[in-house]
């Protein structure tokens, strides 16, 4: 991933460090959220570059990278210093939106946090499932928002890479319309080839998964 400068990346990473709750797990938790965000950025950029190469489509790669690196900034506000949940994790998107607005980011960047959950959450979805969210459409609209939202489904903060069949099955459980929205994204973007990205982060996954069993209860809510 290299579409924004090292200085810009460091500013975003510093923001992650600012919002993590300080405690015994803050370094590990920041590493988890940050590296997941890097992986989502890599997946989104791979899809974007394929669109540019194959269809000559214009994608704002700087905006895409920035949005991907910031989309989960609200996750830090859903856990305490011991990694015990303090609020429903599904709220991390709207919490992230509030953080980014308060930090002076433009609406077009803050929306990456607000509308990336699943394949986006519609007002009906929120109402029917009694989700602790404002009853409004929290769905990606721009191409860059859609790319980050879609890419996010292929890697979890457990952490693991996800195959398309599992993504489809999990999304369908919460609301039938999710399956239709996912199918739309697949037709638009295809299914990304994750082989090189998996290799790139293989050592990191081995390190994190060594701690996975020890902190299984905490990671289960991510």
DSSP class per residue in 93-110: HHHHHHHHHHTT--HHHH
Residues of the chain with confidence (pLDDT) below 70:
1-2, 212-222
- Number of domains observed in the structure of the chain: 1
CB 61 within 8 A of CB 52: no
Residue numbers of the domain that contains 19: 6-219
Do the domain assignments include residue 188?
yes
Q: What is the pLDDT, as a whole number, of residue 1?
A: 47
pTM: 0.93
Residue 39 falls inside a structural domain: yes
* Predicted local confidence at residue 6, as pLDDT: 94
In this prediction, residue 60 carries a pLDDT of 97
């Amino acid at each position: 991933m290299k579409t924004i400068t090292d200085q810009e990346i460091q500013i975003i990473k510093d923001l992650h460090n600012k919002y993590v709750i300080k405690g015994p797990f803050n370094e590990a938790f920041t590493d988890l959220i940050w590296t997941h965000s890097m992986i989502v950025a890599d997946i989104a950029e791979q899809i974007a570059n394929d669109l540019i190469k194959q269809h000559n489509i214009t994608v704002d790669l700087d905006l895409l990278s920035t949005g991907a690196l910031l989309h989960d900034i609200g996750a830090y506000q859903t856990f305490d210093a011991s990694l015990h949940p303090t609020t429903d994790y599904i709220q991390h998107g709207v919490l992230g939106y509030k953080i980014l607005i308060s930090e002076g980011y433009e609406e077009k960047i803050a929306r990456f946090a607000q509308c990336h959950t699943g394949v986006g959450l519609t007002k009906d979805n929120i109402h029917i499932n009694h989700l602790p969210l404002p009853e409004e459409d929290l769905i990606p609209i721009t191409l860059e928002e859609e790319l980050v939202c879609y890419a996010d489904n292929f890697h979890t903060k457990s952490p693991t890479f996800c195959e398309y069949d599992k993504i489809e099955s999990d999304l369908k459980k919460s609301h039938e319309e999710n399956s239709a929205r996912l199918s739309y994204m697949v037709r638009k973007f295809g299914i990304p080839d994750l082989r090189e990205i998996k290799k790139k982060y293989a050592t990191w996954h081995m390190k994190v998964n060594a701690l996975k069993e020890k902190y299984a209860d905490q990671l289960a809510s991510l």
